[in-house]
Amino acid sequence: MIKSYKLSRTISDIVIYVVLGGLGLLWVSPLVWLVLHSFRKEGGVSVPYVFPKEYTLDNYLDLFTKTEVFDYPRWFLNTFVVAVFACIISTLSVLMVSYAFSRLRFKSRKTFINIGMVLGMFPGFMTMIALYYLLKAMNLTQTLPALVICYSSGAGLGFAISKGFFDTIPRALDEAATIDGATRNEIFWKIILPMSKPIIVYTVLTSFIGPWCDFILVKIIMGDKRDNFTVAMGLRKMTEKEYKQNYFKQFLAGSVLVAIPITVLFMKMQNYYVEGVTAGGVKG
């Protein structure tokens, strides 16, 4: 009986690992193709083979030297600036709103939480046309500050996970600090935040990756003003009919470069990211 159970368990494990391995290979293969062909020397949009016959670094060098048509360095800088400022504002907004809902008790608190949860369920692109006309009325269209405003203004609605994390911190710490004469502001900055590194890292990563990868909002706000393009918008421009034959390899190289910062961040901070998600998933 025991041998039969072990045999069935072994077969089951083998099947599971084969399926997971196949799915992993299926997921990784486009990324491998992207990296390999970003070094491809042969011209054209595509070639009838998986592995390039000749490799070169010219595709990467051209991104930073041939900027007459596509100014990739400027796009990269635009993306970095927008992502950093939006990340800072969004992180502070989310953490402060989350702390207020977790620790403070005030009239209509539950109502505000429910309204925030409902509004957060609607996809952002539903408001993009309204955002465009509001920005146009303020003469902010085709500017980088407009992107920062749009990415960070509604960040406070994403308070759910951070609030769940703050709920796990004992209230006795707040009470002890209050007895010692600390204000709510001092408790938040000097006691709660130093203990909240996992959720801070999680919030920073999620606040950074949105502006870094977004395309739709940039397309609507920037229009055809290339100087203020982000990388996502610029790479999309490279694939248009009149450019893709000559710039497709640079498009692949640019796609690899823009993925590096996010990949490095996740590799360095993945432990804190997972801890922040799991600790923030409690019911509060």
Please, what CATH class does the domain formed by 60-279 belong to?
A: mainly alpha
Q: Where are the domains of the chain?
A: 2-58, 60-279
pTM: 0.83
The 3-state DSSP class for residue 55 equals strand
Q: Is 44 exposed, middle or buried (0-12, 13-18, 19+ CB in 10 A)?
A: exposed
Q: Which residue has the higher pLDDT, 96 or 154?
A: 96
Two structure tokens written together for 210: 């949105």
Q: What is the mean pLDDT of residues 114-141?
A: 83
- Kindly state the DSSP code that residue 40 receives in the 8-state scheme: B
Helix ranges restricted to H, 154-228 = 160-167, 171-179, 184-187, 197-213, 216-222
Q: What is the mean pLDDT of residues 28-54?
A: 84
Q: What's the pLDDT band for 181 if we cut at 50, 70, 90?
A: confident
Q: Residues 6 or more apart from 58 whose CB is under 8 A from it?
A: 41
Two structure tokens written together for 234: 């610029």
Please tell me the total number of residues recorded for the chain in this structure.
Answer: 284
Q: What's the pLDDT band for 161 if we cut at 50, 70, 90?
A: confident
